[in-house]
């Protein structure tokens, strides 16, 4: 890899289905050609969606730190508390206690009333009630679908839009065979003097507990909000939120949805801050990729394995899987995308980015040649490549039941995370076209997403939305110009929190943080909250500087979060609530 590439590496509703029809091979390719043309002609509103972003990317302006005025004394008192060992010990204990209650969820769990595994959340609710008595005395709590938690801290001015702070109670399961690989047991909540260890300590009980501590402490200080604060805690985010956030979203639409866009902003789990090119960058997520699980199924008549056909269902499925992996989605870097804005901001504010590389980034604004060169450099980093492109991962495969019986069916599941400049429909059309030649080669009857495209022999190939929960790329939250007031407030809060936690002078630029738009490769519970606010931010102010060895612990062994990060998250949520309470611009 060239030095230039090394320097620039960055870690950074489906269309209506047509009716059933039967095609011969010639008609199939005509259909695919027309589909491709249609996709070019159908307006996806992408230009409008990203219009505000393009201006931002050209200069990446920054706002000043935002410190509450009316709540200055309250914030000062809480800041003094955060500096004490007594409060630190209490905060660590709060999170450790939450980690010690296993709240694992699994894929494919049935409805709450049909599976006793959901009952793990009852003791967690009891724990929250005991740990945060003021929250449970002063806030109204509604339990949605039994285990979803919806708190309302009523403000005195009903004309102000409420804010929504979200988190999730559940954690990914711990594989039993990995338990001996943990430095400390996965549900111990062990504190070693620096880190709190255990499943959920980072994802996402630190966010949930950080919010609860902030509000409990504000209540202890006698603070009464002017603007209503709503808390929504789902319980199956790690299994796509079908039982938790989905029900919470519906409940909030019923309660607050008289007007469009009922919340001033929403903050859920997401980005943090880290050092990049000699500058500390915070990256609140303002977009999310789309999602589609494709179920591939091959069938053929069974029989005795002593008289096999040339290709069994498993053999044909294997060839189809190879076709996928040999033909990944084309990677394009779009100027109308959040990852491109992130690159522009790194160039604008990265103190140690080499001048030649900065020049390439800036030249890419107008030169397609430079843009393609920049893309080729950036995609050397698989993390960034996954941000800008539609990805595909073959995650599940199954076929056969006995060694002497021909498998009558074999299937695989391909998970797609859809680029923000694409769509579910475009992804379906791509996959359909990809496998057309193989379907014809094996004389398979070919049905893709409800359309029968080929009539072959007795063998079949079927593509379908595996779980019926495909997701379009999320609307992008405004980050510049009119309508971006919430992003500016969030940015100012991030800057104030970062400076206060380190004792930095707000008047000096030394050591200050730069706020830039970001996005993750995965999805959050906010997929169910799109119609609740135009301003959705995936951010919980987690410090990842120098903690790279901890990051792999998310969803795997040795998950941990530092006590100092927890304290800074508490400061962030406290400052955010106070800033939002006195703002009249959101």
| Residues of the binding site | 168, 203, 238, 268, 555
Sign of the dihedral defined by the CA atoms of residues 15, 19, 24, 26, in that order? negative
Q: Which of 558-583 are b and which e, b meaning 16 or more Cβ less than 10 Å from the residue's Cβ? A: bbbbbbebbbbbbbbbbbbbbbbbeb
CA distance linking residue 273 with residue 544, whole number of Å:
6
Dihedral of the CA atoms 169, 175, 179, 182 (nearest 10)? -60
Tell me what percent of the chain is helix, strand and coil, each rounded to the nearest 5: 40, 20, 40
**Is 170 annotated as catalytic?**
yes
Of residues 420, 567, 583, 353, the one with CA closest to residue 491 = 583
Distances (CA, A) of 340 to 56, 378, 538: 11, 10, 18
Q: What are phi and psi of 268, to 5 degrees?
A: -130, 180
What are the tokens at 451? 């359309």
CA distance linking residue 315 with residue 491, whole number of Å:
54
Question: How do 451-454 and 445-448 pair as beta strands?
Answer: antiparallel
Q: Could you say which of 53, 170, 204, 293 is catalytic? A: 170
CB contact set of 57 (below 8 Å; sequence gap of 6+):
335, 340, 341, 344, 345, 365
**Is 237 annotated as catalytic?**
yes
Q: Could you say which of 204, 236, 237, 568 is catalytic? A: 237
Which residues are documented as binding site for Zn(2+)? Answer: 168, 203, 238, 268, 555
Q: What's the alpha-carbon Rg for the chain, to the nearest Å?
A: 26
Active-site residue numbers? 170, 237
């Amino acid at each position: 890899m060239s030095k230039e590439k090394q320097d620039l590496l960055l870690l950074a509703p489906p269309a209506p289905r047509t009716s059933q029809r039967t095609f011969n091979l010639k008609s199939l390719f005509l259909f695919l050609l027309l589909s491709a043309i249609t996709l070019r002609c159908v307006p996806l509103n992408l230009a409008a969606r990203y219009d505000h972003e393009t201006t931002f990317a050209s200069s990446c302006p920054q706002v000043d730190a935002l410190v509450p005025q009316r709540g200055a004394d309250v914030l000062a008192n809480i800041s003094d508390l955060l500096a004490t060992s007594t409060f630190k010990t209490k905060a660590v204990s709060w999170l450790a206690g939450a980690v010690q209650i296993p709240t694992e969820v699994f894929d494919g769990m049935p409805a709450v009333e049909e599976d006793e595994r959901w009952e793990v959340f009852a003791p967690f609710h009891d724990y929250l009630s005991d740990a945060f008595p003021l929250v449970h005395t002063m806030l109204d709590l509604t339990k949605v679908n039994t285990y979803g938690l919806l708190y309302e801290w009523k403000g005195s001015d009903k004309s102000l839009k409420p804010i929504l702070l979200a988190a999730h109670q559940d954690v990914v399961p711990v594989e039993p065979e990995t338990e001996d690989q943990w430095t400390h047991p996965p549900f111990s909540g062990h504190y070693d003097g620096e880190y709190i260890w255990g499943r959920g300590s980072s994802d996402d009980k630190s966010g949930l507990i950080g919010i609860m501590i902030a509000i409990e402490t504000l209540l202890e200080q006698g603070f009464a909000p002017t603007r209503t604060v709503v808390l929504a805690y789902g319980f199956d985010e790690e299994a796509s939120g079908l039982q938790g956030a989905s029900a919470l979203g519906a409940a909030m639409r019923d309660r607050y949805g008289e007007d469009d866009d009922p919340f001033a902003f929403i903050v859920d789990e997401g980005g943090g801050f880290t050092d990049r090119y000699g500058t500390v960058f915070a990256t609140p997520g303002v977009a999310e990729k789309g999602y589609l699980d494709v179920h591939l199924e091959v069938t053929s008549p069974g029989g005795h394995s002593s008289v096999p056909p040339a290709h069994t269902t498993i053999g044909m499925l294997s060839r189809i899987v190879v076709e996928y992996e040999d033909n990944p989605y084309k990677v394009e870097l779009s100027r109308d995308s959040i990852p491109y804005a992130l690159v522009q901001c790194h160039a604008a504010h990265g103190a140690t980015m080499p001048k030649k590389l900065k020049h390439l980034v800036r030249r890419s604004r107008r030169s397609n040649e430079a843009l393609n060169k920049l893309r080729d450099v950036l995609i050397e980093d698989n993390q960034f490549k996954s941000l800008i492109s539609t990805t595909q991962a073959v995650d599940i495969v199954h076929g056969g039941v006995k060694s002497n019986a021909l498998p009558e069916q074999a299937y695989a599941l391909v998970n797609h995370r859809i680029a923000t400049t694409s769509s579910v429909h475009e992804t379906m059309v791509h996959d359909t076209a990809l496998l057309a030649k193989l379907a014809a080669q094996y004389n398979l009857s070919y049905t893709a997403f409800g359309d029968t495209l080929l009539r072959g022999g007795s063998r079949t190939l079927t593509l379908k939305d595996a779980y019926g929960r495909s997701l379009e790329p999320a609307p992008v939250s405004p980050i510049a110009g009119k309508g971006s007031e919430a992003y500016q407030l969030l940015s100012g809060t991030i800057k104030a929190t970062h400076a206060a936690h380190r004792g930095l002078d707000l008047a000096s630029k030394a050591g200050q943080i730069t706020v830039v738009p970001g996005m993750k490769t995965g999805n959050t519970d906010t997929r169910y909250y799109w119609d609740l606010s135009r301003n959705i931010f995936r951010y919980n102010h987690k410090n990842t500087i120098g903690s790279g060895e901890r990051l792999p612990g998310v969803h795997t062994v040795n998950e941990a979060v530092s006590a100092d990060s927890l304290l800074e998250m508490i400061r962030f949520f406290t400052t955010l609530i106070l800033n939002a309470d006195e703002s009249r611009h959101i």
